[in-house]
Amino acid sequence: MKCLTYLLLCLLLAGAVIGQEMANSSPEKATTEPTDDVTVAKTKIPAGSKLYVAPMEGGFENFVIAGIQKKKVPVVVVVDRNKADFELTGIAESEKAGWAKMLFMGSQQSKEQASIKVANIKTGAVVFGYSVHKGNSYKGKQSAGEACAKHLKQAIE
């Protein structure tokens, strides 16, 4: 009886380990979660720096600025590039949920991906880079904008 219990326990443990391994190596999971930030240069952005957010496709710059305000990123956003210390540029793409996604997955959330980089205007050095991909974005572009802002905050001294 004891042997049988041990055997069952071992089988359960092995199953759990294999399951975890499979979940970790699953490529789907890797694509649905935001990717890690990539810091290009080691220099950080000083708090209180003046940041210019360049226009992006689909007005994504507005979502990034809103994200910066919401996440209380300690930078001053300016609309004049000449007055700025750093420039934020990027690209964003939205894909609305199609009928198949709605029918089979029961999801009407969009797929969002965005990528931003911050460069020092004087030196031209890229000090921060980040990309985000959300397979099911709860709040569309707003989620992507806030993710960018959240990670930008981490790169500020």
Partner 1 sequence: MTSFKTVAVCIAILALCLTSVAADTPAKSIPENAKVYISPMPDGFDTFLKAAIEKKKVPLEIVEDREKAEYLITGTSETQKSGVAKKLVFLDWRSREEASITVFETKSGEVVFSYSVHKSSSNHGKQSTAEACAKHLKKSVK
Q: State the Cα–Cα distance between residues 111 and 87, nearest whole angstrom.
A: 26
Q: What are the tokens at 131?
A: 């990309």
Q: Give the binding range for partner 1 (CB under 8 A) out of 17-25, 27-35, 75-83, 115-123.
A: 75-83
Interface with partner 1 (CB under 8 A), residue from 98, 123, 125, 154: 98
Q: Which is nearer to partner 1, 27 or 55 (CB)?
A: 55
Q: Rounded to an integer, what distance in angstroms lies between the CA atom of residue 78 and that of residue 117?
A: 16
79 near partner 1, rule: CB under 8 A: yes
Residue 128 and residue 117 in contact, taking contact as beta carbons nearer than 8 Å? yes
Q: How far apart are CA 52 and CA 87, in angstroms?
A: 5
Tell me which of 35, 39, 62, 89 binds partner 1, using CB under 8 A. 62
List C-alpha distances in Å: 6 to 2, 3, 9, 11.
6, 5, 5, 9
- How many other C-beta atoms are found inside a 10 Å radius of the C-beta of residue 57? 12
Q: Is 106 in the site for partner 1 (CB under 8 A)?
A: yes
Q: Using CB under 8 A, which residues numbered 3 to 42 contact partner 1?
A: none
Q: Which stretch binds partner 1 (CB under 8 A): 15-23, 36-44, 55-63, 128-136?
A: 55-63
Q: How far is the CB of 15 from partner 1 (least distance, A)?
A: 35
Stretch that binds partner 1, among 26-34, 35-43, 92-100, 113-121 (CB under 8 A): 92-100
Instruction: Say how many CA atoms lie within 13 Å of 128 toward its Cβ.
Output: 24
Residues at the site binding partner 1, with contacts judged by CB under 8 A: 48, 58-59, 62-63, 65-69, 72, 74, 76-80, 83, 96, 98-99, 102-103, 106, 108-109, 139-143, 145
